Amino acid sequence: MTGERGHALRLAVAADAEALALVHIKSWCEIYKDVFPGHVLKKLNAAKHTAYWRSLVAATPGGTVVCERGRAVIGFLSLDAAGDGDSRESVGEITSIYLDPQHWRCGYGAALMRWALSRAESRGWRRLILWSLRENHHARAFYESVGFHADGASKTGHLGERFSGVEEMYVTLVRFARRLPG
Ligand SMILES: CC(C)(COP(=O)(O)OP(=O)(O)OC[C@H]1O[C@@H](n2cnc3c(N)ncnc32)[C@H](O)[C@@H]1OP(=O)(O)O)[C@@H](O)C(=O)NCCC(=O)NCCS
């Protein structure tokens, strides 16, 4: 899918793992630089992130879309059935959305979100949720602008326990939700 901003969206493949990891780390370091101490962000490890993305893309084919400009991956979004068991509805979850900081606020996040909404509808989900770090005010404003609202749920989790090696950092996550037509 080619967009009016000179970008293209396509499904991620295993060979994208390193590019996904690099965008992920760059985006984390910028968005969380005033939230976490520098030594925590310095522990982010490209090899661990790459391994994480390689296994995620293999385990959930069709679940991650990348945004490219030219041949460079500048962002991505991952979508899956929701892990939360608090609803009998069919619920999808955006498990990550990250753009290279050089390309923030250019409309690519909204383009990725349009893809997610369309994919979620075609899967027959009635609701879409996501979890945001409580202090991530930029992302929270973005989610509200694309039709999500904080639904009152929150939880505590490890910062990047799956891949970053910074297990000592606990964070509060707040849930955003949006109903889907149907
Ligand atoms: C959050 C993110 C995915 C949004 O993507 P983006 O391409 O920057 O956002 P868009 O340009 O599509 O913005 C669409 C609208 O969202 C709102 N918005 C986006 N960023 C915003 C910000 N920092 N502050 C306030 N509103 C914002 C605006 O209404 C914007 O429309 P406008 O630019 O016409 O005013 C991107 O900024 C990002 O990667 N951030 C760092 C990683 C991150 O926080 N991920 C989420 C983890 S939970």
- 125 and 88 Cβ atoms separated by less than 8 Å: no
Whole-angstrom Cα Rg for the chain: 16
Tell whether the model's pLDDT for residue 83 goes beyond 80: no
Q: What is the mean pLDDT of residues 134-149?
A: 97
- pLDDT given for residue 165 in this prediction: 59
Q: What does the domain layout of the chain look like in residue ranges? A: 7-128
Q: How far is the CA of 88 from the centre of ligand 1 (A)?
A: 31
- In this structure, the residue with its CA closest to atom 2 of ligand 1 is 109
Of 136, 137, 158, which is closest to residue 43 (Cα–Cα)? 158
Q: What is the mean pLDDT of residues 139-148?
A: 98
Q: What is the mean pLDDT of residues 111-117?
A: 97
Question: pLDDT tens, 31-74?
Answer: 999 888 888 888 888 998 999 999 999 999 999 999 999 989 99
- 105 and 124 Cβ atoms separated by less than 8 Å: no
Tell whether the model's pLDDT for residue 150 goes beyond 70: yes
Give the span between the Cα atoms of 86 and 144, in whole angstroms.
Answer: 22
Tell whether the model's pLDDT for residue 28 goes beyond 60: yes
Q: How far is the CA of 104 from the centre of ligand 1 (A)?
A: 6
**Alpha-carbon separation of residue 2 from 8, 66, 112, 115, 128 (angstroms):** 4, 12, 12, 12, 24
- pLDDT given for residue 37 in this prediction: 83
Q: Which two tokens stand for residue 125?
A: 């989900």
Cβ density class 56-76: b for 16+ within 10 Å, e for less: bbeeeeebbbbbbbeeebbbb
> What residues are in contact with ligand 1 under a 6 Å CB criterion?
27, 31, 97-99, 104-110, 132, 136, 138-139, 141-142, 145
Homologous superfamily of the 7-128 domain (CATH): Gcn5-related N-acetyltransferase (GNAT) (3.40.630.30)
